[in-house]
C-alpha cells in the first residue's frame, strides 16, 4: 500500500543541523574569527559589500563565514539583512577627487599632477604559488613608508575637459540655462534635457523602487555596481572583443578612502559620519562623432565599494556601451548595448534564486506536461503508422 | 505591533512602510483585474524563486487573527511549504492549518485547492514569470506596450500554430487566461485543469518577487481560458481515479512505485484526499 511521503519538516531540521556541522568542518582545526576574515580575506569582504550594497566589513565577514565562503550566498545574506534596515537619510555626494589615494594610475598620461601611485596591486606579481605562506606564522616585513603626499590628485579627465576634448558630464544645474525661458541655451543641451539625460533630482533608489525602463544613467550605474562581478566582467570583455566595441583607455583608476557626510537638518550643515573605501574608474573612449555629436572623447564610469578594480573597470566599459543611444551611435545588437538585457540579468541574487528554484518540486506541472507529451506522441505515432495518401505517392 | 520574542522583527517580518507599499499595489491590482502592478519587491530571507512574491503578499495580508495554510504542489508537507509555514509561525505567530476550509489565507504554489473557496478566504499565488507573453517576446518594454494596446495577436498566433503542428494547444500548465475581457494573464504554473477554478468567490492575489509584479483576480471576476470556437479549452487530467480516495474529479500526481515502472495515481491535493479517506473510514 502506497503512503504519501511525509516528514518534510524533520528532513529540513536535520538538513540544517548537518549544514551547521559541515560549515564548521573539522573541530580539531581552529575556528575562523570574523576579524581574520575581515583582515585576511579583505577582497572577498569587499565583493560582498559591493554586491550586497551595504558597507560593513564586519557583517560581510560574518556573512562569508555563515555562507561557508560562497560569496553569492553571502551577498544574499547581506541583502536580506539590509532590506530590513530603516532609511534615515542620504549622504551628500562623496568627492572622489579629494580621495586619500592608496592607488592611482592612469593609462593615458605617463605623468600627471598628483603622480601615479602603484599601491597594493597584484598587477606585477609573478603568479607563483608562495609555499612560504603555507608555513604559518610568517609576518611579512612591513612595507617601506614615506610621508603622506599632500598634493591634490585631480581627476585625469579634468585635463581633457579643459581642452573640451571630452564630453562633459554636466548636471542640470551646471548646464547653461536661459532662466527666462527655463530652456537650455544650446539646442544640443535642450535636446539632451528633453531626452531626460540631465535629470538633477535626487537619484532614484533601485532597492526601494521597481526597476522601470527606460531607466536613467544613475539607475543603470546602481544596477552595475551591485551587479555580479562575473557577469559585468564578461559583458565588458565582450565589448573589447567586438560586441559593441568602444575603444576604452583607463583614463584613471583610483582606490582610497573618502569621507561620507550627511546633512543634518537641525544643524543646517553636513557632518562626517564615517569613511568608505572606494574604487573608481573613468575610461576615456575614442569617439569619432555621430550624426548628433562632434568628435571628442567620451567616458565610461565605474564606482564600487572597497578595493575592486576588476569590477570598477568592467562597470565603466559596460556603462559606456549602454550609452550608445544618448551619443547617437549605432545599435549593433551587442548584448552589452542592450540595457534591458544587462539590467535584468546582472543581479546574482535574483539570478541564482531563479536558477536554483528548479530544484524545488515541479510534480504538478511536470505531470501535466507528461500527459500532454504522451497524448501528442501517441497521435504522432498513429499518424506515421497510417501514412497520408500523398506520402504514399 | 507586537514584536515576537524570538525574532525582534515586526509582525509578519516586513516593516509597516513596506506592507503599506505592497497593499497599495494589491489594491491597484484589485481595481484593474489581471493588470501587472510593479512594486518595490524586497529581498526576503528566502531565495528568489522560492515564493518571495507570495510571501510578501501574504505578509501584507495577514493579521494576528488569521489562520494560514501553505501548499506546494497541492501538498502541505512538501519541504518548501513546510518552510514558508514555519517562517510565518515564527515571525507572525498566526494559527496554521492544513485544512482548506479552516484557512483564511492560503499561499499556494502550482495548485488551486480542490475544495471550493469562499468569500472569507484569500488565495495567494507564488508566481515565477508573471508575463504571459514573455516566451513570445523577451523584452519587458515591448510586452508592457502590447498589454497597453491590448495587442494579443502574437498569443493567438502561437495557439494557432500549436494546433496546426500538434492538433491541440500544447500548453499544459500556466495556461493563459483573459481576465474580465481585458488583460491576458498568466495564472502561474497551475495545471490547466485548475483554470476553471480561477472564477472563484475568494480574492486571488498573485505575487512575483523577483520580477517585482503583483496582480489580482477579485471575487467573481470573469476569467476565460484562451481558445478557439472550433478548438475549445479542455481542462484535461490523467484518465484515472485516485488510488487512495477513489476521486475521479481531482488532479492527480503520478507516483512510480517499483523498479519495473509500476505506477499509481493519487490526488495532488493531500488535504482533500485525506478528508475523503477519513469520511470513507467513518
Residue A254 · residue A372 · CB < 8 Å: no
Share above pLDDT 70 across residues of chain A, in percent, rounded to a whole number: 88
DSSP string, B187-218: --S-BGGGGGGGS-SSEEEEEETTTTEEEEE-
> How many CB atoms within 10 Å of residue A224?
28
Residue of A363, A366, A375, A382 best to disrupt the B interface, most CBs of B under 10 A: A363
Residue B278 · residue B271 · CB < 8 Å: no
User: Taking 50 as the threshold, does the pLDDT of residue A198 lie above it?
Assistant: no
DSSP string, A189-204: HHHHHHTTTT--SPPP
C-alpha cell at B113: 485547492
Q: Does A384 touch chain B (CB under 8 A)?
A: no
Give chain A positions within 8 Å (CB) of B112: none
Q: What is the pLDDT of residues B198-215, one digit of tens each?
A: 999 999 999 999 999 999
Q: What is the pLDDT of residues A313-370, one digit of tens each?
A: 999 999 999 999 888 888 999 999 999 999 999 999 999 999 999 998 898 889 999 9
pLDDT of residue A185: 44
pLDDT of residue A195: 57
Average pLDDT over residues A223-233: 98
Share above pLDDT 90 across residues of chain B, in percent, rounded to a whole number: 87
- Long-range contacts of the stretch A33-40 (C-beta < 8 A, 24+): A34/A58, A34/A61, A34/A62, A34/A65, A35/A61, A37/A61, A37/A64, A37/A65
Computed over every residue of chain B, the mean pLDDT equals 93
Task: Say which residue, A380 or B219, is predicted with more confidence.
Answer: B219
Query: Domain segments of chain A: what residues?
Result: 8-82, 96-122+205-352
Contacting A residues, span 84-103, partner chain B, CB-CB under 8 Å: 84, 86
pLDDT of residue A181: 39
Contacting A residues, span 305-364, partner chain B, CB-CB under 8 Å: 340, 344, 349-350, 352-358, 360-364
- Work out the pLDDT band at A167, boundaries 50, 70, 90: confident
pLDDT of residue B231: 94
Q: Which residues pair with A269 in a beta bridge?
A: A264
User: Taking 50 as the threshold, does the pLDDT of residue A184 lie above it?
Assistant: no
The span from the CA of A80 to the CA of A61, in Å, is 15
Asked if B139 and A363 come within 8 Å (Cβ–Cβ), the reply is no
- Work out the pLDDT band at A196, boundaries 50, 70, 90: low
CA distance A356 to chain B (A): 8
Q: What is the pLDDT of residues B225-282, one digit of tens each?
A: 999 999 999 998 888 999 999 999 999 999 888 888 888 999 999 999 999 999 999 8
The span from the CA of A339 to the CA of A204, in Å, is 17
- Work out the pLDDT band at A201, boundaries 50, 70, 90: low
User: Taking 50 as the threshold, does the pLDDT of residue A243 lie above it?
Assistant: yes
ipTM: 0.87
pLDDT of residue A193: 54
Average pLDDT over residues B69-83: 93
- Work out the pLDDT band at A379, boundaries 50, 70, 90: confident
Asked if A4 and B75 come within 8 Å (Cβ–Cβ), the reply is yes
Share above pLDDT 90 across residues of chain A, in percent, rounded to a whole number: 53
pLDDT of residue B2: 45
Q: Does B49 touch chain A (CB under 8 A)?
A: yes
User: A86: nearest CA in chain B?
Assistant: B15
C-alpha cell at A158: 579634468
Do strands B213-217 and B203-208 pair parallel, antiparallel, or not at all (unpaired)? antiparallel
pLDDT of residue B210: 96
Average pLDDT over residues A169-196: 48
CA distance A341 to chain B (A): 8
Asked if A353 and B236 come within 8 Å (Cβ–Cβ), the reply is no
The span from the CA of B88 to the CA of A178, in Å, is 58
pLDDT of residue B237: 81
Nearest to B216 by CA among B237, B202, B231: B202
Average pLDDT over residues A42-69: 98
Nearest to A102 by CA among A266, A292, A306, A262: A306
Task: Say which residue, B99 or A208, is predicted with more confidence.
Answer: B99
pLDDT of residue B142: 95
Residue A215 · residue A339 · CB < 8 Å: yes
C-alpha cell at B107: 499561499
Average pLDDT over residues A89-95: 87
- Work out the pLDDT band at A178, boundaries 50, 70, 90: very low
Q: Does A8 touch chain B (CB under 8 A)?
A: yes
Task: Say which residue, A304 or A389, is predicted with more confidence.
Answer: A304
> What is the b/e burial string over A128-140, where b = at least 16 CB atoms within 10 angstroms of the residue's CB?
eeeeeeeeeeeee
Angle at CA of residue A65, ends A62 and A71, nearest 5°: 95
Q: Which of B49, B75, B80 sits opposite A356 (nearest CB)?
A: B49
- Work out the pLDDT band at A5, boundaries 50, 70, 90: low
pLDDT of residue A26: 96
Average pLDDT over residues A90-95: 89
- Work out the pLDDT band at A204, boundaries 50, 70, 90: confident
Q: What is the pLDDT of residues B99-151, one digit of tens each?
A: 999 999 999 999 999 999 999 999 999 999 999 999 999 999 999 999 999 99
Average pLDDT over residues A139-152: 85
pLDDT of residue B8: 67
Q: Which residues of B are catalytic?
A: 34, 242, 245, 267, 273
DSSP string, B5-30: TTT-PBTTBS-HHHHHHHHHHHHHHH
CA distance A227 to chain B (A): 15
What is the value of pTM for the model shown? 0.88
Task: Say which residue, A246 or A24, is predicted with more confidence.
Answer: A24
User: Taking 60 as the threshold, does the pLDDT of residue A176 lie above it?
Assistant: no
CA distance B76 to chain A (A): 9
User: Taking 60 as the threshold, does the pLDDT of residue A190 lie above it?
Assistant: no
Q: Which residues pair with B228 in a beta bridge?
A: B231
Average pLDDT over residues A17-41: 96
> How many CB atoms within 10 Å of residue B44?
23
Task: Give A2's contacts (C-beta < 8 A, 6+ positions apart).
Answer: B243, B244, B255, B257, B264, B266
Task: Give A283's contacts (C-beta < 8 A, 6+ positions apart).
Answer: A248, A249, A250, A251, A299, A300, A301, A302, A313, A316, A317, A320
Nearest to A328 by CA among A366, A298, A362: A298
Residue A258 · residue A93 · CB < 8 Å: no
Residue A335 · residue A348 · CB < 8 Å: no
User: Taking 70 as the threshold, does the pLDDT of residue A387 lie above it?
Assistant: no
Amino acid at each position: 500500500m502506497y503512503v504519501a511521503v511525509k516528514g518534510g519538516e524533520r528532513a529540513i531540521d536535520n538538513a540544517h543541523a548537518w549544514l551547521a556541522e559541515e560549515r564548521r568542518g573539522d573541530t580539531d582545526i581552529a575556528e575562523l574569527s570574523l576579524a581574520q576574515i575581515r583582515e585576511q580575506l579583505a577582497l572577498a569582504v569587499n565583493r560582498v559589500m559591493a554586491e550586497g550594497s551595504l558597507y560593513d566589513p564586519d557583517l560581510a565577514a560574518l556573512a562569508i563565514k555563515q555562507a561557508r565562503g560562497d560569496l553569492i550566498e553571502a551577498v544574499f545574506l547581506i541583502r536580506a539583512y539590509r532590506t530590513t534596515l530603516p532609511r534615515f537619510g542620504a549622504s551628500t555626494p562623496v568627492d572622489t577627487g579629494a580621495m586619500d589615494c592608496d592607488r592611482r594610475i592612469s593609462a593615458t598620461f605617463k605623468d600627471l599632477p598628483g603622480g601615479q601611485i602603484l599601491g597594493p596591486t597584484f598587477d606585477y606579481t609573478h603568479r607563483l604559488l608562495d609555499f612560504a605562506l603555507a608555513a604559518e606564522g610568517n609576518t611579512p616585513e612591513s612595507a617601506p613608508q614615506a610621508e603622506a603626499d599632500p598634493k591634490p590628485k585631480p581627476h585625469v579627465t579634468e585635463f581633457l575637459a579643459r581642452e573640451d576634448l571630452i564630453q562633459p558630464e554636466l548636471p542640470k544645474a551646471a548646464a547653461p540655462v536661459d532662466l527666462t525661458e527655463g530652456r537650455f541655451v544650446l539646442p544640443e543641451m535642450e535636446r539632451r534635457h528633453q531626452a531626460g539625460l540631465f535629470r538633477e533630482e535626487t537619484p532614484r533608489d533601485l532597492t526601494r523602487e521597481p526597476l522601470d525602463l527606460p531607466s536613467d544613467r544613475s539607475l543603470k550605474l546602481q544596477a552595475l555596481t551591485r551587479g555580479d562581478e562575473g557577469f559585468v566582467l564578461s559583458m565588458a570583455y565582450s565589448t573589447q572583443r567586438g560586441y559593441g566595441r568602444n575603444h576604452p583607455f583607463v583614463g584613471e583608476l583610483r582606490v582610497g578612502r573618502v569621507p561620507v557626510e550627511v546633512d543634518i537638518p537641525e544643524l543646517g550643515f553636513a557632518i562626517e559620519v564615517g569613511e568608505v573605501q572606494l574604487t573608481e574608474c573613468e575610461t576615456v573612449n575614442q569617439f569619432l562623432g555621430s550624426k548628433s555629436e562632434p568628435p571628442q572623447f567620451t567616458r565610461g564610469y565605474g564606482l564600487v565599494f572597497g578595493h575592486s578594480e576588476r569590477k570598477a573597470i568592467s562597470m565603466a566599459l559596460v556603462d559606456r556601451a549602454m550609452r550608445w543611444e544618448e551619443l547617437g551611435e549605432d545599435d549593433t545588437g551587442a548584448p552589452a548595448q542592450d540595457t534591458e538585457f544587462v539590467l535584468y540579468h546582472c543581479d546574482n541574487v535574483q539570478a541564482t534564486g531563479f536558477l536554483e528554484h528548479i530544484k524545488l518540486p515541479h510534480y504538478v506541472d511536470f505531470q501535466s506536461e507528461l500527459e500532454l507529451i504522451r497524448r501528442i506522441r501517441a497521435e504522432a505515432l498513429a499518424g506515421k503508422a497510417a501514412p497520408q495518401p500523398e506520402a504514399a505517392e | 505591533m507586537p514584536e515576537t520574542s524570538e525574532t525582534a522583527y515586526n509582525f509578519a517580518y516586513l516593516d509597516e512602510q513596506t506592507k503599506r507599499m505592497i497593499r497599495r499595489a494589491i489594491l491597484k491590482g484589485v481595481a484593474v483585474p489581471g493588470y501587472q502592478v510593479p512594486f518595490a519587491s524586497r529581498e526576503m530571507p528566502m531565495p528568489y524563486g522560492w515564493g518571495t512574491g507570495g510571501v510578501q503578499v501574504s505578509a501584507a495580508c495577514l493579521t494576528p487573527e488569521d489562520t494560514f495554510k501553505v501548499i506546494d504542489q497541492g501538498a502541505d508537507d512538501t519541504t518548501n511549504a513546510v518552510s514558508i509555514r514555519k517562517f510565518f509561525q515564527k515571525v507572525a505567530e498566526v494559527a496554521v492549518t492544513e485544512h482548506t476550509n479552516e484557512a483564511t489565507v492560503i499561499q499556494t504554489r502550482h495548485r488551486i485547492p480542490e475544495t471550493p473557496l469562499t468569500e472569507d478566504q484569500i488565495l495567494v499565488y507564488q508566481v515565477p514569470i508573471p508575463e504571459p507573453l514573455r516566451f513570445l517576446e523577451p523584452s519587458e518594454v515591448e510586452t508592457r506596450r502590447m498589454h497597453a494596446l491590448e495587442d494579443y495577436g502574437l498569443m493567438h498566433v502561437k495557439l494557432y500554430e500549436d494546433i496546426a503542428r500538434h492538433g491541440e494547444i500544447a500548453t499544459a500548465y500556466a495556461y493563459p487566461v483573459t481576465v474580465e475581457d481585458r488583460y491576458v494573464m498568466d495564472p502561474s504554473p497551475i495545471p490547466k485543469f485548475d483554470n476553471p477554478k480561477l472564477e472563484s468567490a475568494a480574492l486571488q492575489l498573485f505575487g512575483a518577487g523577483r520580477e517585482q509584479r503583483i496582480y489580482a483576480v477579485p471575487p467573481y471576476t470573469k476569467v476565460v481560458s484562451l481558445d478557439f470556437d472550433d478548438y475549445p479549452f479542455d481542462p484535461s487530467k490523467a484518465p484515472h481515479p485516485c488510488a487512495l480516495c477513489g476521486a475521479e474529479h481531482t488532479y492527480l500526481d503520478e507516483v512510480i512505485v517499483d523498479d519495473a515502472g509500476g505506477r499509481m495515481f493519487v490526488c495532488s491535493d493531500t488535504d482533500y484526499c485525506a478528508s475523503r479517506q477519513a469520511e470513507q473510514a467513518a
